[in-house]
Chains A and B, each alone.
Chain A
Amino acid sequence: MTTAYKPVYKRPKLLKEAHFHYCPGCGHGIINRLLMEVIEEMDLADKAICVAPAGCGMLLYNYFDIDVIESAHGRGSAVATGIKRMLPDNLVFSYQGDGDLAAIGTAEGFHAANRGENITVIFVNNGVYGMTGGQMAPTSLIDQVTTTSPLGRNSVLAGHPVRICEVFSVLDGTSYLERVAVNKPAGVVKTKKAIRKAFQRQLDGAGFSLVEILSPCPTAWKMGTLESCKWVDDVMSKVFPLGVVKDVAPCAGIAAEPRSEEAPCS
């Protein structure tokens, strides 16, 4: 007698058989897997184009079996804009870290959002520059010790944590902004839902969508993996509250002035 097993978990086909270069306990691996799961489930593999960042997410093309282009540090939203305007029927998303989107690439992200570019930004916020060795990020918390804030982030000298979702929420071009976390199974499920919803918004032509994902970085935080997961709940999410920050479909900009049905380059 053969027993029919129902698979409860499997590697998505779009995730290549490669070893992640991420550190133990890092959230990037989970987020990478979720993205490929969603694209596979939504049957978008032949339409998806990912814009990879500089930073820990820069090697996405080693893991994603979809079209991927690297962008210079911070320019992901501009590169995604260029691609999407030429290929309006494709799914175009950038994958950006907190230094990438909230510091060096603030202008590019902000204005892509303000134009209501029909792209999705996957914004991985771990409150630190991971790849370069744990320097202070624009999203580092007050008093957070990093290699460039050895006494803790001093708001008088180094400013305050940047809340990208809240900043972008006042722009008429944004359709969907949600902050989630991948520090526990329930959060991972929510993150997957948020990514799916953001991609759907793009397919519907609703305007700019962004999913901010609080992601543990045990190496740069100098914490254990479990401790890191707990820190996201106990400390980080107090400054970066989880939940839907904005949900307007279509975005106000498009509602006010409907876009042409026709693709710009058809």
Chain B
Amino acid sequence: MKRLMSGNAALAEAAILSGCTAYFGYPITPQNELTEHMAKRMVESGGVFIQSESEIAAINMVLGASAAGARAMTSSSGPGMSLKQEGISYLVADELPAVIVNVVRGGPGMGNISPSQSDYFQATRGGGHGDYKTIVLAPSSVQELTEIVPLAFDLADKYRNPVLILGDGMLGQMMEPVDFDGLERPRDYQKDYTLTGAKDRPARSIYSLIFDAKLQEEHNWKLQRKFQLIEQNEVRYETYLTEDAEMIVIAYGMGARIAKGAIKRLRQEGLKVGMVRLITLWPFPTKVLQEMANTVSEFFVFEMSAGQMVEDVRLALGGKGNVHFYGRPGGVIPMPVELYRIISRHYNLAESARAGKQS
């Protein structure tokens, strides 16, 4: 049955249906509907809900609940996400699963409460102190949350690593029809690390302090091997009209929906433009882009930021092909027609440059 829901509320509902039993959060716009939905639904479903005194407290409550075996989650936006980085670093070091939602708003500083994609670096580079990565999932519709949220909980448990869901203020606030009937609750994993009291088993401990540099290095390599495995197995993306494309747009989240609108217009005028929509921002679909670069030379990156993912695209392509970029930072949402004009200009310039070379 379809229901009309905001992205924030739908995300919370999808988490409950995925078996989330513990939610801790602190109010911040534009994600408050998520916390409010959790406050209501956790009581009904018998889970734990705490409105914490800060985002720092929330992420550390997540850490405690996760250590106790819970499927635990927290959510926030820009300024609050900065506060959570300490706890995320500890979750990774302790190899504890958790799902963390960032409904991104314009920054830096207090910024504003408009939709933005400016936290890409923070999300995909680890974000806190130390050498680490978190899986980052980028949904682009309310309905897609019914797949992304259970996937996030599953990957968190599977790899014992925090997973970030990177939305934005538009996805969080807008209402769309959503059907939860197809939501598959992720499987329950055997957890041999949780702290429940040393009953009928030896005492356990969870910690990240490893004084001996060689042992700390070994712990780091262990994490890195896990990250390599994630890079091999968990890349997710969607292609749109790429078969005959001469220019590939690379975008994610709501940016990809704006780009789709632009591409529809471009196609009407016969411009062969397609798109790769990233679903995982980390791991990044490096190989996919490298393979496309064998047949396509023009790549156009669109982000609602001053240009962050574009660096990963350049790294992936390693000098192959031409990388074009258009971005709007600060919480501005460009209309598809604006993007259409920009892409069309780049497309035509690239085409005439190719024609010039051939003649």
User: Which residues of chain A have a CB within 8 Å of any CB of chain B?
Assistant: 45-49, 51-52, 58-59, 61, 64-72, 75, 78-87, 90-91, 107-108, 110-111, 115, 264-266
**Pair B86/A82 contact, Cβ less than 8 Å:** no
Known: A66-B197, A78-B56, A82-B67. 6 other contacts (CB 8 A): A47-B197, A65-B203, A75-B60, A82-B65, A83-B64, A264-B47
9 shortest interchain CB distances as A-B pairs: A82-B64, A61-B205, A46-B199, A70-B207, A78-B60, A82-B61, A111-B53, A86-B68, A82-B65
Interface residues on B, range: 35 or more
- Between A52, A61, A64, A265, the greatest number of chain B beta carbons within 10 A of the residue's beta carbon is seen for A265
Which one of B64, B66, B68, B72 contacts A78 once the chains associate, using CB atoms below 8 Å? Answer: B64
A108 to B60, CA, bound (A): 9
Measured between beta carbons, the chain A residues less than 8 angstroms from B65 are 82-83, 85-86
A91 to B197, CA, bound (A): 8
**Pair B205/A86 contact, Cβ less than 8 Å:** no
A49 smallest CB distance to B (angstroms): 5
Measured between beta carbons, the chain B residues less than 8 angstroms from A64 are 203
Interface flags, B82-105, vs A, CB<8A=1, else 0: 000011001000100000000000
**Pair A79/B203 contact, Cβ less than 8 Å:** no
- 28 A/B residue pairs, CB under 8 Å, sorted by A: A45-B197, A46-B200, A47-B197, A48-B198, A64-B203, A66-B197, A66-B203, A67-B195, A67-B198, A68-B195, A69-B94, A69-B205, A70-B206, A71-B63, A72-B90, A75-B60, A75-B87, A81-B61, A82-B65, A82-B72, A83-B64, A83-B65, A83-B195, A84-B64, A85-B61, A86-B22, A86-B48, A86-B70
B32 smallest CB distance to A (angstroms): 20
**Pair B57/A107 contact, Cβ less than 8 Å:** yes
B293 smallest CB distance to A (angstroms): 43
What residue in chain A is nearest B68 (Cβ atoms)? A86
A81 to B67, CA, bound (A): 12
**Pair B64/A45 contact, Cβ less than 8 Å:** no
Which one of B48, B53, B197, B207 contacts A69 once the chains associate, using CB atoms below 8 Å? Answer: B207
